[in-house]
Structure 1
Amino acid sequence: MSAIIAATTAADGTIVRETVRQRSLKLPISLGVVAVLILLLALPAGRSGTSVFRLADRTSTLALPDVGVPTWQTVFICALLLVLLAAYATVQVARYRRVGLWLPIVFAFVAVFGFLTWSAADGLVPVTGLLFGAVSLSVPLVFGALGGVIGERAGVVNVAIEAQFLLAAFSSALVASMTGSYVLGILAAMLGGALVAAALALFAIRYIVDQVIVGVVLNVLITGLTSFLHGALMRQNEALFNTPPRLPRIAIPLLHDIPVLGPVLFNQTLIVYLMYIAVPLVAWALYRSRWGLRLRAVGEHPQAADTVGIKVNPTRFWNLLLAGSIAGIGGAYFTLGSVGAFDKEMTDGLGFIALAAVIFGGWDPIRATLAALLFGFSMNLETLLSNLGSPIPGEFMKMLPYVVTVLAVVGFAGKVRAPAADGKPYIKG
């Protein structure tokens, strides 16, 4: 739901302002489609048996019992709850009322629980392992989304997140292998991401080249460059150039002992803890600091920002470098925290999913982070369903992360508005 202020002129010449309310049915329709799909799993495609959810893992200090639920009955109850939530969203939109963020979050939780219950008929779902894998896969997406939010809030479309990931992953692997320090590897990754961002800024801001075209060209260029260097340099001497030290896990006392979530959130690597700091810091700074005010000003109304003394293009340039550095930390996670070595095209299009998280999150750091976590969860869900022997065809499960991404951006995102000057070069004069 949104409101538009329209101005009309009355017969006596006075200006009358009217509020024209608009409503978008995209969210209720999307929720209704998902509710129907879960209902179909309960009725025509219902499965009998018991679905078991394991809440503890081998690192848990508190032994929690496995929880078993009847498969068909649980899926049916979840489907009914989803139908009610979809109906509530429809009523709210029909009355021109805003649907709170809590509703899609609760809806997603119930839908995932129902789907997992159906998939795990007479099987076992390791909840801690599922969540741990989802967080791990989400880390680069979160950093990429934060970089995308900063860049686009400054008025530059950052299609080159994929290139920033790749060059950062290559740089971190190379420097960490040669120095034996993962800290220097992370710094090298930030520099690699900033270099790609500098190239994007140079052509998009200085030479006013179409930003989307520059981003696509950089993605292709960095993909080819890192693939060439991997074959010509790293493969010739992997022991020296492609054996970076892995990031150690750091368990936080007491917090690590929290059931279920403790091992997931507080037995992680340095980059994950940096993510915990970066998300609230960027969210606070964007809306509560002078830096954030200037950043949003040059992305929303650069002419007005210029009139009050803000240097629009330098502000965009330096913030784009900051965005690239943040995305570079996500690139370092591929080689230092996940895979343990660099391989060509190892980012596998995750930069574009991070960009989708920016759009799905409405160019907001917190919402973009939640979107990134959703996409990371869907990627890990693909692996879990394969291990459970789900009756869903394997080809569809490989498509699952991308299907979730498309549905989220097209359906669940509703009517979102990018920064007014996003993608528009500023020429003073």
Structure 2
Amino acid sequence: MPETPVTAEKAILRSWKAPVALGIFTVLFGILLLASPRNGVTTFRLSTQADAIQLPDLTVPVMATAWVCFALLVLLAAASAYFVRAVGRSPLWIVIVYIVIFVVGFLTWAASGATIPVPGLLAGSIALAVPLIYGALGGVIGERAGVVNIAIEGQLLAGAFTAAVVSSLTQQPILGLLAAMFAGMLVAAVLAAFAIKYLVDQVIVGVVLNVLVTGLTGFLFSQVLQPNAATLNTPVRFDRIPIPLLSDIPVLGPVLFRQTIIVYIMYVAVALVYVGMFHTRWGLRLRAVGEHPQAADTVGIKVNATRFWNVLLAGAIAGLGGTVFTIGNGIAFNKEMTAGAGFIALAAVIFGQWDPIKATLAALLFGFASNLQNTLSVIGSPVPSEFMLMLPYLVTIFVVAGVVGKSRAPAADGKPYIKG
């Protein structure tokens, strides 16, 4: 008998996680508006006093705006379900637009009678997201090469410590930045040696390295930096460099183009990693050793050497991210000052689906959620403080559990390669 052809309808693998999650959050937002209506208006301040172009404040009625946002959320959730039904997955742009509208609606409700400084909110979000983005880029490179980089936390912490000490001694923040990259590479070299050469479990090595770096920097801080703080722990801060013309763009100018060199390097790093990973020979080899090392070996790619050098590159990028905590803000080094940022960066890698752009967006989302709790506290929002403390982690759960859909790590991720 002739075989029955497989229809396109049967071939589609649908994931309903995104529309279900969007629907649940839409319902919760509607319940919030019904259970706790608020009167008055909310003001969004769109310009700072330093802006060349001054935009008028935007004042909106609370409940009318919130209900309009609710209606748009309903439409977006329905659109997500339509796309899943038609093509099997929900487009990323629907999720991004949904998050933006949800935030606008929630802020309008939460800040009733108060003023939201939009440039300050966004600039603070960028500042909190920068180390996460550097860490996520390092994680994407390492895992695309087949090595699980649990040690991002240690690389960030080593970078922060080294940048503080070197910039304090030399009074040159650029030397502190280079030293931080070297420190991140050292931590990555230990990870690569044990994981690639000696075939030790990569997760165990990463956890041990995090504990080692935390303990070592804590010991050196107590025994060396604190007694000699004036000499060894007074990091020199990078000055902000406004970019002509671009820095005068309303709203986006102060947020994106009045930054330090660390942030500008981040813009370049994201673009280079993305283009390099998907449009160059380096990226092809990188992805080959992470997906199918045996096939890569047969065409002459040195699998373990490729993995080793890319893990070092990932460590250098993560170490650079650690500079944000010290010379990026002009803050003295302190024990465990990264506060788990490396693990959040690793989460961004996973729910960014091992893609540098998506991982960057995930890191930005977490940075925004972290800064949002600070903004709501300052304006005296009625949202309970306990909820605001949970907000960044609730956002993480929302993205991981409901929005991302099915994720697949590189096929050889975490698996050592033994030639022959």
1:407 pairs, out of 398, 401, 407, with 398
Which residue of the other structure, out of 32, 46, 49, is the alignment partner of 1:41?
32
Tell me the distance in 2 between the aligned counterparts of 1:40 and 1:220.
44
Q: 2 CA distance for matches of 1:69 and 1:337? A: 36
Select the residue among 343, 365, 385 that pairs with 1:374: 365
SS of the residue corresponding to residue 146 of structure 2 reads: coil
Residue 86 of structure 1 aligns to a residue in which SS?
helix
CA contact (8 A) 1:119 1:388 kept: no
> Conserved in 1, the CA contact under 8 Å of 2:145 and 2:307?
yes
How far did 1:420 drift? 0.7
1:339 CA displacement: 5.1
Indicate which of 258, 261, 273 corresponds to 2:264: 273
**Equivalent residues, number:** 418
Please report the TM-score for the alignment, with normalisation by the length of structure 1.
0.95
Say whether the 8 Å CA contact 1:146–1:327 is kept in structure 2: yes
Residue 183 of structure 1: how far off its partner (Å)? 0.5
Q: What secondary structure does 2:327 align onto?
A: helix
Matches within 5 A, 1:251-270: 251-270=242-261
CA contact (8 A) 1:167 1:226 kept: yes
Moved more, 299-308 or 62-71: 62-71
Which of the residues 181, 188, 191 maps onto 2:179?
Answer: 188
> Deviations 1:346-372 (Å, cap 9, x if unpaired)?
000011111111111111111111111
Cα separation, 1, equivalents of 2:251 and 2:179: 34
CA contact 2:83–2:91 (8 Å) conserved in 1: no
Residue 68 of structure 1 corresponds to 59
- 1:246 alignment counterpart: 237
Contact 2:236–2:330 under 8 Å retained in 1: no
Read off the aligned partner of 1:281 and give its amino acid letter: L
Secondary structure class of the residue paired with 1:43:
helix
Paired position in structure 2 for 1:226: 217
Matches of 2:103 and 2:293, distance apart in 1: 43
Where does 1:283-362 land on structure 2 (aligned, <5 Å)?
Answer: 283-338=274-329, 340-362=331-353
SS in 2 for 1:359: helix
- 1:5 — aligned with what? none
Question: How far apart in 1 are the matches of 2:245 and 2:330?
Answer: 29
- 1:25 and 2:20 are equivalent in the alignment: no
Q: Which residue of 2 aligns with 1:6?
A: none
Which residues in structure 2 correspond to 1:136-215 (within 5 Å)?
Answer: 136-215=127-206
Structure 2 SS opposite 1:338: coil
Instruction: Out of 376-385 and 40-49, give the one that drifted further.
Output: 40-49
Q: Deviations over 1:150-192 (max 9, x none)?
A: 0000001111110000011001001110111100000010011
Give the whole-Å Cα distance in 2 for the aligned partners of 1:198 and 1:121. Answer: 52
Please state how far the C-alpha of 1:15 moved relative to its aligned partner.
Answer: 11
Given candidates 416, 419, 422, the residue that maps to 2:413 is 422
Residue deviations 1:108-139, cap 9 Å, x none?
10000001101110000000000110111111
Q: Which residue of 2 aligns with 1:105?
A: 96
Displacement of 1:98: 3.4
Deviations 1:240-294 (A, max 9, x none): 1000101100011111111111111111000000011111111000011110000
Seen in structure 2, the aligned counterparts of structure 1 residues 15 and 176 have a Cα distance that, compared at 3 Å, is farther
Are residue 91 (structure 1) and residue 96 (structure 2) matched?
A: no
The answer as to whether partners of 1:41 and 1:118 remain within 8 angstroms in 2 is no
Could you tell me how far 1:16 is from its partner in structure 2?
Answer: 7.7
Q: Which residue of 59, 71, 78 corresponds with 1:80? A: 71
Offset, 1:376: 0.6
Which AA in structure 1 matches 2:324?
Y
Q: Describe the SS at the equivalent of 2:328.
A: helix
The Cα RMSD (Å) is 1.4
Q: After TM superposition, what 4+ stretches of structure 1 lie above 4 angstroms from structure 2?
A: 14-19
Q: Is the 8 A contact 1:200 1:215 kept in 2?
A: yes
Q: Is the 8 A contact 1:298 1:312 kept in 2?
A: yes
> How far apart are the structure 2 equivalents of 1:126 and 1:111?
18
User: What's the CA shift string for 1:370-391, capped at 9, x where partnerless?
Assistant: 1111111111001001112122
Distance (Å, rounded) in 1 between the aligned partners of 2:107 and 2:32 = 11
User: Is the contact made by 1:189 and 1:332 (CA closer than 8 Å) also made in structure 2?
Assistant: yes
Partner of 2:386: 395
Cα deviation for residue 17 of structure 1 reads: 7.3
Specify the SS of the correspondent of 1:95.
Answer: helix
In the aligned structure 1, how far is the partner of 2:382 from the partner of 2:138?
38
What amino acid is aligned across from residue 386 of structure 2 in structure 1?
Answer: E
Q: Deviations over 1:198-246 (max 9, x none)?
A: 1111111111111111111111111111111100110011011000101
Code of the residue aligned with 1:65 in structure 2: it is: P
- Whole-Å separation in 1 of the counterparts to 2:256 and 2:228: 36
Please, which runs of 5 or more residues in structure 1 have no aligned partner? 1-10
Give me the identity figure in percent. 61
Structure 2, unaligned stretches of length 5 or more? Answer: none
TM-score of the superposition, structure 2-length normalised? Answer: 0.97
Partners of 2:208 and 2:383 in 1: CA distance: 37
